[in-house]
Structure 1
Amino acid sequence: MQTIDTLLVASHVIPVSPSPAVLADHAVAIDAGRIVAVVPAAEALARFDAKKVVRLDHHALIPGLVNLHCHAAMTLMRGLADDQPLMTWLQDHIWPAEGKHVGDAFVHDGSLLAMAEMLRGGVTCVNDMYFFPEATARAALRAKMRACLGIIAIEFPSAYAPDANGYLAKGLATRDAYRDEPLLAFSLAPHAPYTVGDETLKRIAVLSEELDLPIHTHVHETQDEIAQGLAQHGVRPLERLRKLGIVGPRLIAVHAVHLEPIEIELLAREGASVAHCPSSNLKLASGFAPIAALRAKGVNVGVGTDGAASNNRLDVFTEMRTAALLAKAVSGNAATVTAHEALRMATLDAARAIGLEREIGSIEVGKQADLAAVELSSLETLPCFDPVSHLVYAAGREHVSHVWVAGEARLEERRLLDLDETELREKARWWQRKLQAP
């Protein structure tokens, strides 16, 4: 028998790739953080001598979910200014609060709270964009969660940096400091076309090519943004990004709600990805992204939550369900974005957008063992004719029982193993009092 670290024996294993199969009574063998076999349970029990065997008799074992767009630290502003249009929300509430409170401690504590929430909901990797990425890096390492950290760029000053060059310099230094951490990756993260100038965007295009880093940016989130871009630059924001060298296979276009057919063709032709944040788009009344049209043209689309300040939950199960339902309603086709496709958007397609598809996003031999177990035996998930359908349309993050990152348990029987929930609650309440103080 082959000695391994862990054997997960599940009622259903849903690998996502190479096929949308549901493997009944299968097991996943893990050693040194990686998947070494995906085989029938009986075969696995006969073949492997595991240091630990986890029985998941009423569960679906899935790849860990990948949150393709988040501002983790903004969890501390959850519910701070609800029911406002985007620019009113930003200019009158969020940006002033950030100017007053955001610093290293705020970002670390908010990110840690966010990562606890995400791990409890089956998310094993987050693609984040915020100030003080070094603080987010420390939080991710403390939570032992995978993260792709944005090297933010924006033209106006903050407590983090005085100008765009300062943001990039500090972000690149953070990347250098943490580049050997196996759980961390990096992207270039110009905030949006309306907050970043031409010269900064040109430099980011060059850095992306030189360093092989994704470019993670908000674009075409609202009609007002597009009107502003036309007034200031004479072209729509996506066309401006194209002219500046930003649109290509490394681009993650966040929101991408308002797209003309020619812009969908552009994203497809250039191999760009879209981070679809349906709940945030609905809450801020930004509109309905043309997901069916994007996917029909071959654009890679993953799902994200956005920040808890505009969602207000970091719940990728909700995003999967909402993405599938909205795509059907907008396209008028109930067969578009099937449950299998929605799950793939929250796993392998999101991993592909950040360049990690060879490491995570599916349950395949050789990949990192980033996994989540979802219990399907509760009353609201019975009877179960199709586990994948239930994952998208019936189950929720409250059904996640176990989570592993790189083969190490992070959540066991719904209990976080590496984070003190009492400490997190106390920190959250402390920051609430601080933000509420006059």
Structure 2
Amino acid sequence: MTSSPTPIDLLIEARWVVPIEPHAVVLDDHAVAVHDGAILAILPADEARAAYAPKERVVLPEHALIPGLINAHTHNPMTLLRGLADDLPLMTWLQEHIWPAEARVMGPDFIRDGVELAVAEMIRGGTTCANENYFFPDVIAATYKQMGFRAVIGLPVIDFPTPWAKTSDEYFSRALEVHESLKAEPLLTTAFVPHAPYTVSDENFIRIRDLANELDIPIHLHTHETALEVQQGKDKDGVRPFARLQKLGIVTDRLLAVHMTQLNDDEIAACAAAGVSVAHCPESNLKLASGFCPAEKLRAAGVNVCIGTDGCASNNDLDMFGEMRTAALLAKAVAGDAAAFDAAFALRAATLNGAKAIGLGDRIGSIEPGKRADLTAVRLDALETQPLYHVASQLVYATGRHQVSDVWIDGQRKLVDGELVGIDKARILSKARAWREIIASEEEA
């Protein structure tokens, strides 16, 4: 007796499925079965049709289905500062333009509108999760929740007053309030985001270390971003910032170290031994002339390397396809090895490695049974991606984010044939233009 097909919510049939795990595998003519927001199975499409009775069936005949991309380091409210102060060195850009602009406009409305713009951009580019690092995390979390977007909400700590908090005690008390409020949210988790070694005291790092251990959350930290930062840290503390962080107990498998352009071999080995993750932000580092992360050396040492865009004020986009390509090309040049940071690894860095770095490796980042259905479909039949010999290579070296056609987060459709679902694009554009008028007039005053 033949059993009846199993009722499910969704069956996605794709010309190619790139599961990420197993590594460097591409499955031809496969389907992904989804129910209650979770991946049930990955199997040949003809078998899937016989096995399942889906409420919705999506056929992607010229597409690659990949895990949703994970932006491992970003400041998404800063989309509203995109292009404000370009072509300037980091400290001039930060101290003379970005921080003054933020001081003038930072508040709940600015935060909400910037995140809305960022979410729309990220979904259109195939990104389904962001590791957020900015002030007013309560507003950020509420905006992500309202838009149904997966995110790690950064709990900021910095040694000077901001509109979010005035004292160290206030930073920590408000951080704990936000963390507690998000415990039951299925798409939102938290991480501590101390700004950088040069803006956070030893005392506050120790508090962060102890609380991160107690709450079982990551520490997301700009680290060794520039040569100047390293030299100033050495002048002040007598050791390089990384050594200071080691002494304080921050260098553990909870640490996601961002940028890391200034590393020696001993520091790379220490990262590997401690289980540190590194968020590589190649385009921001290039634009600010911050230096070159030794991404291939880190990969070869066994460090978990992931990819982030950084904020739109220093990139100037949230394009993870562009970031993958730049990361792979730059790593080859820095290593002097054309085989370095290959396409399959670039895809892994932008998906599963990012998930592991933010504490979500058991939930997202690969297309595996039991994981949540965060999925991105990419058309590969465009002129710009033909002829097609190797899917992974084409995705990394030839594909643009405009070829993303469909996106799901937790099994919910967020993009259909390039069109956003449940997001008012005209309203977001109108608000972005209004902020431009406010910020530009104040910058010119």
- Cα offset for 1:15? 0.2
Q: C-alpha deviations, 1:288-316, integer Å up to 9, x for none?
A: 11011111110000000000000000011
1:412 aligned to 2:416?
Answer: yes
User: Out of 412, 422, 425, which is 2:426 matched to?
Assistant: 422
1:96 aligned to 2:100?
Answer: yes
User: Out of 235, 240, 244, which is 1:240 matched to?
Assistant: 244
1:382 aligned to 2:386?
Answer: yes
Tell me which residue corresponds to 2:230.
Answer: 226
Q: C-alpha deviations, 1:163-184, integer Å up to 9, x for none?
A: 2221221122111112111000
Tell me which residue corresponds to 1:60.
Answer: 64
TM superposition score normalised by structure 2 = 0.98
Tell me which residue corresponds to 1:434.
Answer: 438
Tell me which residue corresponds to 2:10.
Answer: 6
Q: Specify the SS of the correspondent of 2:9.
A: strand
Aligned length: 438
Q: Specify the SS of the correspondent of 1:333.
A: coil
Q: Distance in 1 between matches of 2:400 and 2:242?
A: 35
Tell me which residue corresponds to 1:126.
Answer: 130
Q: Distance in 2 between matches of 1:383 and 1:281?
A: 33
Amino acid at match of 2:232: Q
Q: Distance in 1 between matches of 2:168 and 2:201?
A: 9
Does the 8 Å CA contact 1:116/1:143 hold for their aligned counterparts? no
Q: C-alpha deviations, 1:56-113, integer Å up to 9, x for none?
A: 0000000000000000000000000000100000000000011111011111110111
- Cα offset for 1:231? 1.2
Q: C-alpha deviations, 1:305-344, integer Å up to 9, x for none?
A: 0000000000110110011001111111111111000000
Amino acid at match of 2:229: E
Q: Specify the SS of the correspondent of 1:327.
A: helix
Amino acid at match of 1:33: G
Amino acid at match of 1:117: E
Tell me which residue corresponds to 1:284.
Answer: 288
Q: Distance in 1 between matches of 2:123 and 2:414?
A: 7
| Paired residues for 1:211-222 under 5 Å | 211-222=215-226
Q: Distance in 2 between matches of 1:54 and 1:294?
A: 39
User: Out of 403, 409, 412, which is 2:407 matched to?
Assistant: 403
Does the 8 Å CA contact 1:220/1:258 hold for their aligned counterparts? yes
User: Out of 271, 295, 298, which is 2:275 matched to?
Assistant: 271
Q: Specify the SS of the correspondent of 2:199.
A: coil
Q: Specify the SS of the correspondent of 1:98.
A: helix
Q: C-alpha deviations, 1:172-208, integer Å up to 9, x for none?
A: 2111112111000100110000111110001001011
1:76 aligned to 2:60?
Answer: no
Q: Distance in 1 between matches of 2:246 and 2:324?
A: 29
Tell me which residue corresponds to 1:198.
Answer: 202
Q: Specify the SS of the correspondent of 2:402.
A: helix
Amino acid at match of 1:152: P
Amino acid at match of 1:424: I
Q: Distance in 1 between matches of 2:211 and 2:224?
A: 23
Q: C-alpha deviations, 1:137-185, integer Å up to 9, x for none?
A: 1111122110001100001101110022212211221111121110001
Amino acid at match of 1:147: A
Q: Distance in 2 between matches of 1:190 and 1:344?
A: 27
Tell me which residue corresponds to 1:43.
Answer: 47
Q: Distance in 2 between matches of 1:164 and 1:293?
A: 37
Amino acid at match of 1:376: L
Q: Specify the SS of the correspondent of 2:306.
A: strand
Does the 8 Å CA contact 2:150/2:409 hold for their aligned counterparts? yes
- Cα offset for 1:11? 0.3
Q: Distance in 1 between matches of 2:240 and 2:302?
A: 22
Q: Using the aligned pairs only, state the percent identity.
A: 53
Does the 8 Å CA contact 1:144/1:418 hold for their aligned counterparts? no
Tell me which residue corresponds to 2:318.
Answer: 314
- Cα offset for 1:19? 3.1
Does the 8 Å CA contact 2:125/2:402 hold for their aligned counterparts? yes
Structure 1 ranges of 4+ moved more than 6 A: none
Q: Distance in 2 between matches of 1:345 and 1:65?
A: 9
1:108 aligned to 2:116?
Answer: no
Amino acid at match of 2:408: W
Q: Distance in 1 between matches of 2:56 and 2:123?
A: 21
- Cα offset for 1:276? 0.2
Does the 8 Å CA contact 2:23/2:344 hold for their aligned counterparts? no
Q: Specify the SS of the correspondent of 1:16.
A: coil
Does the 8 Å CA contact 1:254/1:274 hold for their aligned counterparts? yes
Q: Distance in 1 between matches of 2:271 and 2:377?
A: 34
Tell me which residue corresponds to 1:359.
Answer: 363
Does the 8 Å CA contact 1:193/1:237 hold for their aligned counterparts? yes
> Can you give the 5+ residue segments of structure 1 that lack an aligned partner in the other structure?
none
Tell me which residue corresponds to 1:179.
Answer: 183
Q: Distance in 1 between matches of 2:400 and 2:241?
A: 36
Q: Specify the SS of the correspondent of 2:25.
A: coil
Q: Distance in 2 between matches of 1:396 and 1:171?
A: 37
Q: Specify the SS of the correspondent of 1:50.
A: strand
User: Out of 353, 368, 371, which is 2:372 matched to?
Assistant: 368
1:304 aligned to 2:312?
Answer: no
- When the two chains are superposed, the root-mean-square deviation of aligned CA atoms in Å is 0.7
User: Out of 165, 171, 179, which is 2:169 matched to?
Assistant: 165
Q: Distance in 1 between matches of 2:255 and 2:179?
A: 19
1:145 aligned to 2:142?
Answer: no
User: Out of 306, 330, 335, which is 1:331 matched to?
Assistant: 335
Tell me which residue corresponds to 1:254.
Answer: 258
Tell me which residue corresponds to 1:86.
Answer: 90
TM superposition score normalised by structure 1 = 0.99
Does the 8 Å CA contact 1:256/1:289 hold for their aligned counterparts? yes
